Amino acid sequence: MGVARLSLRLLALLAAMLLLPMTASAQSSIRDAEIEGILREYFDPLLTAAGLQPRDVDIILINDPSLNAFVAGGQKIHIHTGLILATDSPEQLKGVIAHEIGHIVNAHLAMSEEAMKDAQGISMISIGLGVLAIAAGAPDAGVALMSNSGYFAALNFFTYGRVAESQADQTGVTLMEQTGQSAEGMVYFFEKFRYEELMSSRRQDPYFRMHPISTQRIAAIRARVAQAETTAQPQSERAIQQLAIMKAKLIGFLQSPMQVARKYPHTDLSENALYARSISEYRAVDIGAALRDIDALLERQPDNPYYWELKGQILFENGRIAESIEPHRKSVQLAPNQPLLKVNLARSLIESRDMEKVREAEGVLMDALAQERDNAFAWNQLAACYGKLNRTPEAALATAEERYYIGDIRRAHVFAQRAAQGLDRTSSNWQRADDIIRVTDPRLPGNRQPS
Ligand SMILES: [Zn+2]
- 369-415 pLDDT per residue, tens: 999 998 888 999 999 999 999 999 999 999 999 988 877 889 999 99
- Cβ(343)–Cβ(363) under 8 Å? no
Would you state the pLDDT for residue 152? Answer: 52
Q: How far is the CA of 211 from the centre of ligand 1 (A)?
A: 4
Would you state the pLDDT for residue 147? Answer: 37
Q: How far is the CA of 62 from the centre of ligand 1 (A)?
A: 18
Backbone angles phi, psi at 72, to 5 degrees: -145, 160
The number of angstroms, rounded, from the C-alpha of 50 to the middle of its chain's C-alpha atoms is 23
Q: How far is the CA of 127 from the centre of ligand 1 (A)?
A: 28
Q: How far is the CA of 406 from the centre of ligand 1 (A)?
A: 29
Would you state the pLDDT for residue 23? Answer: 35
Would you state the pLDDT for residue 111? Answer: 56
Q: Which helix (H) or strand (E) holds 52?
A: none
- Cβ(210)–Cβ(152) under 8 Å? no
Backbone angles phi, psi at 264, to 5 degrees: -130, 80
Contacts of 77 (CB under 8 A, 6+ apart): 43, 57, 58, 59, 60, 69, 70, 71, 97, 100, 101, 104
Q: How far is the CA of 67 from the centre of ligand 1 (A)?
A: 13
Q: How far is the CA of 70 from the centre of ligand 1 (A)?
A: 8
Helices marked H in 255-375: 257-263, 271-283, 287-300, 305-317, 321-334, 339-351, 355-371
Sequence length of the chain is 451
- pLDDT lower than 70: segments of the chain: 1-28, 109-157, 197-204, 229-230, 446, 448-451
User: Which residues have a beta carbon within 5 Å of ligand 1, which is an ion?
Assistant: 160, 165, 168, 211
Classify residue 234 by its DSSP letter.
Answer: P
Would you state the pLDDT for residue 132? Answer: 57
pLDDT digits (tens, 9 = 90+) for 289-299: 999 999 999 99
Q: How far is the CA of 246 from the centre of ligand 1 (A)?
A: 24
Distance in angstroms (rounded) separating the CA atoms of residues 378 and 368: 7
Distance in angstroms (rounded) separating the CA atoms of residues 448 and 383: 25
pTM of the predicted structure, to 2 decimals: 0.85
